[in-house]
Structure 1
Amino acid sequence: MPLVTNLIDDKSPLIHYDSTWLPGTSADDQLEDQYYHGTFTTNNVTNAEVTFTFNGTAIWWYSARRNNHGSFVVQIDNVSYGPYDGYSAVEQFRVPIFNVSGLNQGTHQLTLTNTGSGTTIYVGADVVSESRFLFYSSYDSPLCAADRVAIECWKC
C-alpha cells in the first residue's frame, strides 16, 4: 500500500480555530511572505485551541519559531503531548513544531492549545501535513470522494 502525504494550508476549512485565532496580515507581520503561501493564522490567548481531524498514521504541524512565540500542548485522541516551546531567538519559518508518527491507520483528532503567557504567548498555524495509506478498492464511496476533493482543494 502506498503512503500518501497531504499538505493542508492554514486557511483550509478543515482546520477549526476557536474565535480567538486571527488570520495574519502584512500589517501584523512584515515577514508574512516567509510563511507557506504567504499566509498564517495566529493566536495570543492562553488556553485558545485549534483542532484538526485527519485520517492517517502521522501528522506534522508547521509554524514559525520566533522570540514572541511561547508554549503549547497537543492532544491526539485524548493523549497529551508536550508541553512544547515555540520560542526561538533566531526567527525560523516553515518548521515542524510538532509531529507524531506510528498512529494506527484511522481517523484522529489533533487539538493544539496555547499555554503561553507574558511576552512569549504567540502560537501559529502555517501548514499541516498528514500521511495515510492509500487503499485500493473496486469503487469509491461518496465519503472518500468528498474527502479527496476537500484535501485537493486546499493542498499545495
Structure 2
Amino acid sequence: MTLMAGRERRSMMTGAQASHCGSVSAISLGLPVSTAIPEAKGILPKALFVGKAPISGKLKQRFVNEIESITMLALARSANTGLADGKLIPEVLIIGLKLTAKATEIPSEVIELIAGQRKSGIVFACVREVPFEGRTREECAFAVRRAQPGRAGHTLIYHVYAGDWQPAGSASLS
C-alpha cells in the first residue's frame, strides 16, 4: 500500500466522505470533488462565530433557536477548480446552515455576522425541512453578503441577497 499526498486523497473522495448539511454536499451541488471538505473537518461550532465579536442577545438567541448546525461544504480556489485566480476574491467558501424547525426565513443577521468575519467570498447553502404533500422535504436556498455600491471614502454598507427555496435535490452551483 502506498501513501498518497493530501491532494490526491481529496480528489478520490466520495460523496459519503464529503461533509454535508442535511443531504446537501459539495458533490450534490455539482461542484468538483476536489473542492469538497472532508466530513471530519466540516463541522464548525457555533461558538466559533459567537465568541469572536460582541453580539446582541437577540442574535445569540437566533443562533441557538434557528441554527441547528454550521458546516463547511467546499472551498473553491484556482488550485482545485482550474479556474483563473480572482483579483478581488481569490477563493470562495461554501458553508451549509442547517436551520431548525423554528426558522421560518433566511437568517440574514447570522449570515451577516459569519460573512463579516472573513474577507474572501462565502456562499451560504441554507437547508430546512418543510411539510410537503403530507410528508416533509428538504429545501435549500443560497445566500451571499455583498457590499452595496457606494462612493469612495465612505463606509461600505452590506446587504444579504438570498435566492428562492428549492428542493435540496435540485439545488446546484455552477
Using the size of structure 1 for normalisation, the TM-score is 0.26
- Name whichever structure is richer in helix by fraction: 2
Larger RCO: Structure 1 or Structure 2 (Cα < 8 Å, ≥ 6 residues apart)?
A: 1
Whose Rg is larger? 2
Using the size of structure 2 for normalisation, the TM-score is 0.24
- Name whichever structure is richer in strand by fraction: 1
